[in-house]
Amino acid sequence: MQQTKRILVTGGAGFLGSFLCERLLGEGHEVICVDNFFTGSRRNVSHLLDNRSFEIIRHDVTFPLYVEVDEIYNLACPASPVHYQDDPVQTTKTSVHGAINMLGLAKRVRAKILQASTSEVYGDPEIHPQTERYWGRVNPIGPRACYDEGKRCAETLFFDYWRQHRLRIKIARIFNTYGPRMRPDDGRVVSNFIVQALQNEPITVYGTGQQTRSFCYVDDLIDGLVRMMQTGDDVIGPINLGNPVEFTMLELANLVIEITGSRSRISLLPLPIDDPRQRQPDIGTALRELNWEPRTTLRDGLVKTIAYFEGLVSSGYLRPAAAE
Ligand code: NAD
Ligand code: UDP
């Protein structure tokens, strides 16, 4: 029988964090969700509030935290370029001071700690697909640097705590993940395209739309994170977690239009600065170390995600399409 643990999830009221809290509670653990609600919301975890094993604390991880826990999943950090560029100094602080505070906590209570790192550590990559051995190509002074370099520094801190203090660490490098509970104003491509399609508004494809991403459905990703936490102390990563099937943004736009049956047209807008041209994870390590690979196709995942956003329209959270 699996042992009940007390687990801290920072950023637990966000998109990924809320699914992770749900999964861990479902496995019988006690979960402490810490969030400052910058991009997350109580609504994401409202269905968990009655669970006696669930606790939520409003707290900013750039300040120290004292709780007794067995495991820490460190997810606190805005993930959408729109939101992490809104207050870039706070974004770097969240990644760097947040990592220092959570690593300090892990050291004090001897907890195992997993860092939600990102494919952004590879920047605009010269090798394809990206393996964990690749050191990346990041512009350290551009508008994405607060996120990319913050996450890279957090990885450095994790490895130094491991080398210096023998902390039990895990680093997952997450590639673009989507699903229900993304905010309608999140600004990331999947939620943008779905909201625009449901409102019959222009689909805003940046650049020529030939840049690629590889999209992982949230359930698959959460399974990968939990598997990684359950590995022995010798598995520390970094390990890429993502779906290796790659799409151009134009292909994604057309798929969303097709599934929603939308009347939207595609509108080409300027490409943001330092936008990576291609991104695809090599998931050989995850397959070998975690026996993990994603199961959900982009079409199936989009159908579920679109159903969620349609629910927001029918419950009045999202404006319906204007009449013809
Ligand atoms: P999200 O923005 O929905 O969630 C982030 C959560 O962290 C939010 O609830 C937010 O309020 C909280 N937060 C932000 N700053 C905080 C602070 N200083 N103190 C406490 N809480 C804070 O994003 P997400 O997609 O759920 O991403 C979760 C994590 O996974 C992030 O660390 C992100 O970098 C990483 N990640 C996500 C993806 C993806 O595609 N979803 C890809 C790579 C990495
Ligand atoms: N993108 C787009 N239209 C949008 C939002 C994003 O074409 O409305 C593009 C963006 O330029 C990038 C890709 O979609 O090439 C993924 O963007 P997102 O912000 O989702 O994630 P990231 O760039 O961090 O991978």
* Helix residue spans in 124-272 (DSSP H): 145-165, 189-198, 218-229, 249-260
pLDDT of residue 188: 95
157 lines ligand 1 (CB under 6 A): no
Instruction: Calculate the CA 219 to chain-centre distance.
Output: 12
Q: Looking at the predicted structure, is the pLDDT value of residue 321 above 90? A: no
Q: Please give the distance, rounded to the nearest whole angstrom, from the Cα atom of residue 81 to the centre of ligand 1.
A: 11
> Alpha-carbon distance 4 to 293, whole Å?
26
258: amino acid identity, one letter: E
As annotated, the active-site residues are 147
- Two structure tokens written together for 306: 């679109």
Contact 40, 14 (CB under 8 A): yes
99 lines ligand 1 (CB under 6 A): no
Where do we find the tokens 């990041």? 138
Over the stretch 8-24, which tens digit does the pLDDT of each residue have?
Answer: 999 999 999 999 999 99
Q: Looking at the predicted structure, is the pLDDT value of residue 190 above 90? A: yes
pLDDT of residue 204: 98
Q: Where are the domains of the chain?
A: 6-179+217-243+281-295
pLDDT of residue 196: 97
Ligand lying nearest the CA atom of residue 241: 1
Q: Looking at the predicted structure, is the pLDDT value of residue 64 above 70? A: yes
81 lines ligand 2 (CB under 6 A): yes
Q: Which DSSP category does 104 fall into? A: H
Over the stretch 298-318, which tens digit does the pLDDT of each residue have?
Answer: 999 999 999 999 999 999 888
Q: State percent of the chain over pLDDT 70.
A: 99
159 lines ligand 2 (CB under 6 A): no
pLDDT of residue 320: 83
State the average pLDDT over residues 189-198. 98
Contact 83, 187 (CB under 8 A): yes
Q: Please give the distance, rounded to the nearest whole angstrom, from the Cα atom of residue 148 to the centre of ligand 2.
A: 15
206: amino acid identity, one letter: Y
**Which of 46, 73, 75 is the pocket-test mutation for ligand 1 (most atoms within 8 Å of CB)?**
75
Of the ranges 1-10, 14-23, 241-250, 252-261, which one carries the lowest mean pLDDT score? 1-10
19 lines ligand 1 (CB under 6 A): no
pTM here is: 0.97
Mean pLDDT of the chain: 97
**Which of 146, 174, 213 is the pocket-test mutation for ligand 2 (most atoms within 8 Å of CB)?**
213
State the average pLDDT over residues 217-243. 98
Over the stretch 98-129, which tens digit does the pLDDT of each residue have?
Answer: 999 999 999 999 999 999 999 999 999 999 99
CATH entry, 6-179+217-243+281-295, from 3.30.2130.10, 3.40.50.720, 2.102.10.10, 3.40.50.410: 3.40.50.720
43: amino acid identity, one letter: R
106 lines ligand 1 (CB under 6 A): no
Q: Looking at the predicted structure, is the pLDDT value of residue 1 above 70? A: no
| pLDDT top residue among 1 and 50 | 50
pLDDT of residue 316: 87
State the average pLDDT over residues 176-190. 96
* Helix residue spans in 27-144 (DSSP H): 81-84, 88-109
Q: Looking at the predicted structure, is the pLDDT value of residue 72 above 60? A: yes
pLDDT of residue 324: 66
Q: Looking at the predicted structure, is the pLDDT value of residue 2 above 80? A: no
